[in-house]
Amino acid sequence: MKRILLFLATNLAVIVVLSIVWMIVSSVFGLGSTMDYQGGGINYGATMVFAAIFGFGGALISLLMSKWIAKVSVGAQVIENPRNEVERWLVETVKRQAREAGIGMPEVAIYDSPEINAFATGANRNAALVAVSTGLLHNMSRDEVEAVLGHEVGHIANGDMVTLTLIQGVVNTFVIFFARLVGYFVDRMILKNEEGPGIGFFVTTIVAEIVFGILASAIVMWFSRQREFRADAAGARLAGREKMIAALERLKLNEQVREELPAQMTAFGIAGARGGGLLKKLFMSHPPLEERIDALRRGTYLHHGM
């Protein structure tokens, strides 16, 4: 329930902020209404700016808030002063890997969960966050944990969070833009409404955004899967290939009993969501574990990324 309320509150706040930004930009630059049924129909310039503000704006705000959202949603506790040997080892391992990867020292956190998972997030590669679950620490060997940490540091070093945000912003912008064009066409040309955007426009726009959003998600998830291969390769370089393979095999052993991160954090986890058929694989943020293990064994992707 806490996660749901946080998700709803955050999205509501983002919509309010972006609405204010749109009103200010529209007023300052004299963009006018996006739809003017009496004066020519679609204002393409205003519609594109509107789409960019809500498409890119939402993605960028989510990125800027990602560390805070991650900490609150899973209850991650940042290690300020290591209290025991395990915490000291975690901090020292991440510090060493960050130095080798050429990035600033990330915050290191632990969150209480029986799942075997970890994630990295943050808008700045020199001020990111790496978090591991208690389940991962209890069920993996140190070699395997080291590889997982290397994987997450690899995500940061490769700039995956920023790149994924930019891609999401681009597709969001085009989804909003073309959905509004379809809404206008149906409302004005098919329903013959000449009084201004009506119920036909709003219903059609929502349906079009859903359809285009699903198609766009396949593009974003394809990139997300590629970055997982590169992060695995980074983990292999920072900790050793056999350690990275062993970590993925451990995840595969526990795949059937593994819980998943909150929806907004799934793409940043080491394991990702489980998939079934071909259609579902198109929308998976992570490749199947067997494919990732095979790529490491064959040496694929080892020359890419960090």
For residue 159, with 0-12 CB atoms within 10 Å meaning exposed, 13-18 middle and 19 or more buried, which class applies? middle
d(CA 197, CA 188): 8
Instruction: Return the amino acid letter for 277.
Output: G
CA angle, 219 then 223 then 225, to 5°: 115
User: Which active-site residues does the annotation give?
Assistant: 152
**3-state SS of the chain: helix, strand, coil percent to 5?**
65, 5, 25
Query: Do you know the residue count of the chain?
Result: 306
d(CA 11, CA 2): 14
Those residues with Cβ within 8 angstroms of residue 231's Cβ, 6 or more apart along the chain or in another chain: 151, 152, 154, 155, 158, 160, 305
Instruction: Return the amino acid letter for 124.
Output: N
CA angle, 172 then 176 then 179, to 5°: 135
- For 32, the token pair is 């006018």
**Where does 86-229 show beta strands of DSSP type E?**
107-111, 118-121, 129-133
For tokens 């526990």, name the residue.
Answer: 254
Chain-centroid distance, C-alpha 275: 18
d(CA 38, CA 191): 16
Instruction: Return the amino acid letter for 147.
Output: A
